[in-house]
Chain A
Amino acid sequence: MSAPFYVSPEQLMKDRAEFARKGIARGRSVVVLRYDDGILLLAENPSATLHKIAEIYDRIAFAAVGKYNEFETLRQAGVRYADLRGYSYDRADVTARGLTNAYAQTLASVFTTESKPFEVELVVAEIGEHPASDRLFRLSYDGSVADENEHVAIGGQAEEIGKRLSGLRTAGKPLAEVLAIGHTVLGTGRDDDVDLDDLEAAVLERSASSHRTFRRLQPDDLRSLLAAPATGEDTGREEAPTASGTETRPQEDEGQ
């Protein structure tokens, strides 16, 4: 006669969170940064075909770290969600907020009900008509959501990168400058900078001519951007106090 095996809910959740965190910590990081004319997504990714950064819809991009097959499933679900919604209603009715909610609910329900949680962290980024309506949402393996202001890092070095970025305002800076910042912080925790050929980069451009604003940056684009001399020009936004600028605002799960 063996006593029934009891695990407290606290312990169960802790074990699952630990498991997911360990899986995510093994991977390289991804940073997403706003710049004056859009949003830059940067990942260290030696593969040119297995993307960590992708287009979801006209103004929405997706970035992920963790297990490839899991975030690829989530990415495809996001594309299907956005395309179906845009077709049923209108292209303007597809928003990052709705997509983030769907992701959050899915991640949360898998975390609590399935035998194994998703070992992923996601960023859903959306550019608005104006910089003020840009959106950066960060989603964790357990479905928790954070609404970020200027930049967000996910993956193994996320905490260190977040520390290096904290207090920095990027939303008023030009792409070349923000790319240089992103490239530098991605090298956190290693001896040298990330090789440009191993850098996966894409932008959502406010000034894009087509309705699809997502564009991948090729290594040549990156080289020419990084080679461009820094303008050093004062963007006129420096006088804004930076204290509250980069704080993250943890959110209650929306829409419940």
Chain B
Amino acid sequence: MNTGFDPAFLSATTNSFTDFARTVAPDVLPHISPEQLVSASGERAGVPDGTTIIAFKTAHGVLMAGDRRATVGNLIASHIIEKVHAADSASVIGIAGTAGLALELIRLFQLELEHYEKIEGTPLSLEGKANRLASMLRAGLGLAMQGLAVVPLFAGVEPGRDSGRIFSFDVTGGKYEEVNFHSIGSGSGFARGALKKLWSPGLSEAGGVRVAVEALIDAADDDSATGGPDFVRQVAPVVRVVDADGVRRIPESEVLQYATAVVASRAEGDRP
């Protein structure tokens, strides 16, 4: 006979969804034993990787952008994967690394924030969200040691504030606050080089989108695992801005216009 809620639902005291799910339904949480990923010949099974994510501060908050390519070895696994997501109404998360785990981590992190907000009746602070993410990474350390690393970039605005903050992480769960801008993924070196020249304090939204597109085009230019704007398929990088009003995605058509302008200006200059 169905007797309603399992007693654990009524007696649980945790405000963390992951902790709760681990006690009542551990099988729904992402868990892959390292052995499952190593084929009989001892090679790692082909799992898609994700690539360049950038984030920087703007006049009223932060902007995060990411390319759309996922790769398996030398092959392109996806042209349209989205690696930058809204974590909640005041923060964004972007992920580089093993795509399957990364997307699951994003889904779990989004739910974690929403669950806390509903149980406690108030959202976590920005620093609290970053710490929560760090501890979720730490839980996946075993996989990271097997080469299935997931590295997120987290940025957001504290409710009621007019300025953003950016946090980067490493696979051991280390959390580092970045000053003005940061990039992660295989093309991050090229993107960061571009940001060093192009970023300036107090960027407007339009100026920010342009800078983001330029940095990602630079990364795609030199890193085979980062995709540039795809004019044939009309696929543009994902660009999200966060300010006091919340998280907004810049429409793909608009990003493509910026990309067209950037490509045109580079062609004019006859740059190699």
The chain A residues found within 8 Å of chain B, CB to CB, are: 49, 51, 54-56, 73-74, 76-77, 79-81, 83-84, 86-88, 101-109, 210, 212, 255-256
Contact = CB atoms under 8 A, between A and B. Distances in A.
A76 B2 contact: no
A106 B4 contact: yes
A88 B9 CA distance: 16
Q: How large is the interface on B (under 10, 10 to 19, 20 to 34, 35 or more residues)?
A: 20 to 34
Interface of B: 2-5, 9-10, 12, 17, 20-21, 24-25, 28, 89, 107-108, 111, 114-115, 118-119, 121
Given A77-B10, A87-B17, A102 B115 contact: no
A87 B118 contact: no
Contact of B3 (A51, A88, A106): A106
Contact of A87 (B3, B10, B12, B107): B107
Given A84-B28, A87-B107, A102 B5 contact: yes
Contact of B9 (A80, A107, A108, A109): A80
Contacts of A102: 4-5
Contacts of A105: 2-5
A76 B4 CA distance: 14
Q: Which of A74, A84, A86 has the most CB of B within 10 A?
A: A84
B119 A79 contact: yes
Given A51-B121, A80-B20, A88-B25, A256 B2 contact: yes
7 contacts: A51-B121, A76-B119, A81-B9, A84-B17, A84-B21, A87-B107, A102-B4
Nearest to A214: B118
A196 B17 CA distance: 35
Nearest to B29: A87
Given A73-B10, A88-B25, A83 B111 contact: yes
B118 A104 contact: no
Contacts of A79: 115, 118-119
A49 B4 contact: no
Contacts of A109: 3-4
A145 B119 CA distance: 25
B121 A49 contact: yes
Given A80-B20, A83-B17, A84-B20, A103 B121 contact: no
B118 A107 contact: no
A210 B89 contact: yes
Given A80-B12, A83-B17, A54 B121 contact: yes
A2 to B, nearest CB: 35
A49 B121 CA distance: 8
B118 A54 contact: yes
Closest 10 A-B residue pairs measured CB to CB? Answer: A106-B4, A105-B4, A77-B9, A88-B28, A109-B3, A79-B118, A77-B5, A106-B5, A77-B10, A102-B4
A56 B114 CA distance: 10
Contacts of B17: 80, 83-84, 87
Nearest to A216: B121
Given A77-B10, A106-B4, A56 B118 contact: yes
Nearest to A211: B114
Contact of A106 (B10, B21, B108): B10
Contacts of A49: 121
A205 to B, nearest CB: 15
A107 B4 contact: yes
Nearest to B21: A84
Given A77-B10, A107-B4, 7 more contacts: A80-B20, A84-B25, A87-B17, A87-B111, A101-B4, A104-B4, A109-B3
A101 B110 CA distance: 27
A61 to B, nearest CB: 11
Q: Which of B5, B17, B21, B111 has the most CB of A within 10 A?
A: B5
B76 to A, nearest CB: 28
Nearest to B17: A83
Nearest to A49: B121
Most B CB within 10 A of own CB, among A83, A103, A107 = A83
A103 to B, nearest CB: 7
A204 to B, nearest CB: 14
